Structure 1
């Protein structure tokens, strides 16, 4: 509050020396600082660089539950925001903060915006980022879903399965890769076919380190194990790069019981009645077990 009060006094003085400062924290922990001032500024553990070309286009904020949003423009460069990092999705969902600061005394500053990066577009050597305020989270549906399949995510707190246990993951160097989407190994027979279907492939080294993709299919083809992703990893992958394959789950009761021995944490309702049961009615001489009406 003292910092904001000092800034208000500065703004009330008529002659002002203020600049906007932007901080970005990616999900992998990488931190960036930008400012529209002509010199670098430093505070809050960030160095806000002046030669990045980042600027705000618009800022909308409210006191109600409507979504705060803003946009920022910037130039792509190898030393700040690179085209390769944007293509790889490394800035997706990154945390963003914006301050209005007195560049002659950065102790006088006020936090204007806090949120995350939404849609990010690039063209002509520049990028345009949609920034979403904290109220964006209020649009997410919450509450329990009653359905036959499990609603937990494999490995999360509700599920409780430890994917670091032997048998639930495999770490291998890439032996063959096609379009950053189809991977092949000659010796990986210790896991059953389709063991990794619906699982996750995580890149642990090389240019794609930190990126991951969802596994669409896990099969054997002529002695080779073939793992296919739903979408390509958005980075240049090479033979020898280390990847981690994590077992997949189809959310079924039997899979939880037999594959993961985790029935006590099953988050679905396998015995919940279906639509046919809701529409059934008693009939003389017919099977009234609650099964399909077409039986």
Structure 2
């Protein structure tokens, strides 16, 4: 099966965190072990160099080594490798070439650096990157650096030839529908794999058939920071969704997953502790040495640790 076929079949793709030492240098053994945990748990791919990996890796010269480590661990596994691609066009082209040369299948293209670009400039940017590597679109929520992207943008985006998928992560139902409707209207629903990035609404996204103008499209899987923890549970959940398990039971699990995510992503404080929250769970599970981030000021918010205590006790079945 080709990697594109695997994407359409539906995969759990964790957004890969960054393991650091107390000196805030790359903890290579734990970084490699974390990739192995995801693959051993049944994840169909990993996304590296993305928001959960910390965009600051670029400023610290860590993008290449982090991409290389994950690619080395995934070699021969059949995993789909997605690399984050960021920045203005010149930077994005360099990162796309690095991802391609390191063995990645597609680039998850963030448009956060083009906050003031026109729609036409955005499309030209995507087209340029797509000539180097297949593009995985990315609707990033504004709370963590994204920008509002209207239906007209997604309509034109879906016409770009070397497009393999879209991660829909605005954390907003109307904006999610803008993307899904554009895919349905494009006639390319068999070319573009939809992946939920809405960590606040994972199960409902995956369960829902979206019908526009007689065309029905569905989310195939998830590319999620939430699935950087509890990956084995996520694989079991996606399997149950694909097998048609009782939707009421699945929606109940979905509500629990949203509650869990609220604590990990620090929703009460505008997502300020979202990366530290993921790290905290991995530390408690022995997969990280500490929750250190590249930015020394980035840590858990007041009260977040107690919220994590609560949800870990309430939902152990979601964290295997």
Question: Could you say which TM-score interval applies, normalised by the shorter chain?
Answer: under 0.3
Normalised TM-score (structure 1): 0.24
TM-score scaled by structure 2?
0.23
Bigger relative contact order, structure 1 or 2, given CA contacts below 8 A and separation 6+?
2
Higher normalized helix content (fraction of residues): 2
Q: Which has the higher strand share?
A: 1
Radius of gyration: which is bigger? 1
